[in-house]
A = this chain, B = another copy of it.
Amino acid sequence: MTSLALEKLINEFNKLPGIGKKSATRIAFHLINSSMEEIKTLTSVITEAKAHIKHCSICSNLTEQDICNICSDLSRRTDILCIVEDCRDIISLEKTATFRGKYHVLNGKIAPLKGITPDKLNIESLLIRIASEPITEVIIAINPDLEGETTTLYLNKLIKNFNIKVTRIASGLPMGGNLEYADTATISQSLNGRHEIY
């Protein structure tokens, strides 16, 4: 490499998730050919996002305010709460425009082997919300994998104590999917979760 600054730039981008050495090099060259204006915009947007974005004090979603605009939205249902692992999942769920209740972000799932025990998740704040808000149904929308199922069982046990309906998002063949190519666990789930057609 003929420039140390260039090498440093490539290495910095190489650290980002999903960016390999080749993509990092491509981005670095793109940035060097960008205008000073564009570079200033990029760096200031990064710095400002880091400085202003924090977790909502109610649901733990990312926000610039103290309370996120889902929690402060009076038009949303307060009787139904959807539990997700991560803030990103809220974006995916919101895109469907199917759910009009509130959210609660756990910030991970129980994984003792990775040192993530229940006390490291936002479970205490969840139980406080269930006890104090007029919630009648909790939807557990944690990803359906081994750790997700463990977390679901754990949460179900805790929430059932409040005499509240606990539901789990359906698992099965994705839309457009194919029995031929689906794994056995997914097919089992889609059989077990079958529903009557009226």
Contacts and interface: CB of A to CB of B under 8 A. Distances in A.
Contact of A87 (B8, B16, B29, B30): B29
Interface in A30-73: 30-32, 34, 36, 39, 41-43, 45-50, 52-53, 56, 61-64, 68-70
Nearest to A56: B2
A17 B4 contact: no
A152 B113 CA distance: 59
This chain's copy number in the assembly: 2
Given A2-B68, A2-B70, A49-B8, A27 B31 contact: no
Contacts of A17: 26-27, 30
Interface string A79-102: 000000011101100000000000
Contacts of A62: 2-3, 6, 32
Contacts of A3: 49, 52-53, 62-64, 68
A18 interface: yes
A28 interface: yes
A5 B39 contact: no
